[in-house]
Structure 1
């Protein structure tokens, strides 16, 4: 059994550590857990009902994490604890997803296209009067938080608070975090809990047809289930999109040849979004637990075993994506990536994220084709969620929007 080296760049996030796993086989056992960076194995496990999500008390999780979770109020809407949809399996997961699935379906998301374009244009207009624009705080974060807040029926004056809650809650999805970070996150979770409880109290007397209204109208859900999944939708509704937009801006600014191609052939933008997600997806890894003994690629995975899935590794598997470390917006199979997972736990908001990326990034670079980074962007101190905290830029000359 080998020892898994996580490395300074984060959990399975940098190429040397992914290749270390790949060289040991398709699903080696390392540091007490099975782990894979193989695309086909990752996709199989994500789709196979023989595997379930990881419970907070699983012995394969680091002891400090289990210790913290055991001492946290179970009534708080922690994204990484049940009844969050993220960490529940059927039949509960099926109930939660069915309640709100229609709001994230193809027809509902397509209806948001004009609104996303309006928000993006408004924010791009403001950038010109901003002394030193930060394309995370002034742009990438503001688009998805505006849209998800409107979907949930939350007022504009809550946007800054929602961003604060999302920023503090994101580390709870990590496998290791400082005590002070955890304490701040729990303090904010108390605020989140009370806020959404008040929202659902109001909805009992004044029903609405937004996403919170859908959760409130489902009599089969307890108040705790409503609050936990409202909090999940809030955070998941903008966290991954913020990261996707920020990562995409950095990639495109660093590959001017790809930007030139998109300017000449704008119909390629749809595929460019997929290549951004493949090349530098917002989530580096996830985990599953074997519900019973399972054989994968001639290897027995005993019941209860934790399997770590390197999504970053799968998306750079040379057997599926030739020359995987080359950023290429013309890559024919870019959309086959696993950035949004797959199977029943595939990201509910993937259509929304693609819509926001496919509108916001072309609009930004159409308006400011000479945009360039004003120094290296500042990475977010997270290991699993790959993101930037700040990205100052020089906009360059403004072009007439097409």
Structure 2
């Protein structure tokens, strides 16, 4: 089993990682960005180099773009699709190795997770999962977000040196995702373990040890989610839309566990990074924080600017399903396009003075942090509520909050955020938990 898993890692991450390192030394712009990402927490200068090479840049392996208009158009163009790892344009031996070494766990970045399948399968999964994110369901969850946030504020208030990531930012999405999946509160620690171990699979070129731990974490998640699936199938009542999917029989075992794992991984990572990146941005720009304290109605707009200037997910990719002409470029069937969302969110043609953090920016919501088109983040509205509620409550409750050491970056390529953020809260200001206005 270990040998097969190692072979799969080599095919999916090890060989591509080594190849990117070689291409980086030869000056490939995308390879340089990926190879250097773990050593520097500022990828944006390299993205600007890519922008300087053109709106759509051809590299040895793929096309790449940081152009907002092109990225948005490709994300919304049905002539482009997602490509599972086993179908990527890799050497035939690597593709064969991937197809023969499936560990059989609920992987959030492999079929049947909806993020990596095309219509009609994607359409079916998304319509079913979307029942958990209707406006009515989101409104109900917003109340829970406010309640959980207040509980977390009370929790960290008595801690002498809280870590704003592990003690605050990660706890909120875990609790809310448990609500969506209908999992009890005593499952939160296990869910956190799944998320911490499994979310690096959303990254590219991860190391062997990280990959092995991720798959081991997914085995635990798979076991627990299957157990929950069978409980619901056997007649145990489930009062959430996702739980009802299991009991109604609309999803198979693997479809249920894979898409539940996707909600845990993607929902967790997006919100944690949004909150952590927001804390850092606001502490680095106290004048913006003062504005928000004077005008709290701006908190939702502040979240949009945080998402724009420091996207929790940095990039995605699409594959041309046929020959496609984009003005000035010819993309052939099978060509992959790497879409650097965080670079598109700093396109000066759309966002004037794009490196400036400005919570009053009128068009900040035009960012692509949640993607666009049929694969746009299904929980975007909920993530926005979580971010606005958590950040507002934190800074209103602890006006003297400061970090006691530089925050520790995650060190990943695609997932931009912090692993640790030690803080001193200072005196607490009495305030009620509020929903963003």
What is the TM-score with the length of structure 1 in the denominator?
0.95
The answer on whether the counterparts of 1:12 and 1:285 sit within 8 Å (CA) in structure 2 is no
Q: 1:9 aligns with which of 28, 37, 40?
A: 37
- Show structure 1 runs of 5+ residues with no match: none
Q: Which secondary structure does the structure 1 equivalent of 2:405 belong to? A: coil
Q: State the number of aligned residues.
A: 402
Q: 1:78 aligns with which of 85, 91, 107?
A: 107
**1:361-383 Cα shifts (integer Å, max 9, x gaps):** 11110111111111100111311
> How do 1:261-300 and structure 2 match up within 5 A?
261-300=291-330
Q: Which secondary structure does the structure 2 equivalent of 1:300 belong to? A: strand
- Tell me which moved more, 43-52 or 159-168: 159-168
Q: 1:54 aligns to what?
A: 83
User: Does residue 196 in structure 1 map to residue 221 in structure 2?
Assistant: no
Q: 1:88 aligns with which of 117, 138, 141?
A: 117
Q: Which secondary structure does the structure 1 equivalent of 2:316 belong to? A: strand
**1:100-144 Cα shifts (integer Å, max 9, x gaps):** 212112221112222211111111111121121100011100011
The answer on whether the counterparts of 1:13 and 1:384 sit within 8 Å (CA) in structure 2 is no
> How do 1:103-142 and structure 2 match up within 5 A?
103-142=132-171
Q: Which secondary structure does the structure 1 equivalent of 2:419 belong to? A: strand
| Structure 2: distance between partners of 1:287 and 1:333 | 25
> How do 1:100-249 and structure 2 match up within 5 A?
100-205=129-234, 206-249=236-279
User: How far off its partner does 1:220 sit?
Assistant: 4.1
Residues 63, 233 of structure 1: alpha-carbon distance in 2 compared, 3 angstrom cutoff: farther
The answer on whether the counterparts of 2:41 and 2:411 sit within 8 Å (CA) in structure 1 is no
Q: Which secondary structure does the structure 1 equivalent of 2:85 belong to? A: coil
**1:76-111 Cα shifts (integer Å, max 9, x gaps):** 111111001110111001111111212112221112
- Show structure 2 runs of 5+ residues with no match: 1-25, 433-437
Higher relative helix content? 2
Q: Which secondary structure does the structure 2 equivalent of 1:120 belong to? A: helix
| Structure 2: distance between partners of 1:62 and 1:262 | 52
- Tell me which moved more, 369-378 or 62-71: 62-71
| Structure 1: distance between partners of 2:354 and 2:270 | 22
The answer on whether the counterparts of 1:132 and 1:392 sit within 8 Å (CA) in structure 2 is yes
**1:186-206 Cα shifts (integer Å, max 9, x gaps):** 112211112111111111121
The answer on whether the counterparts of 2:320 and 2:333 sit within 8 Å (CA) in structure 1 is yes
The answer on whether the counterparts of 1:61 and 1:175 sit within 8 Å (CA) in structure 2 is no
Pairwise CA RMSD of aligned residues? 2.1
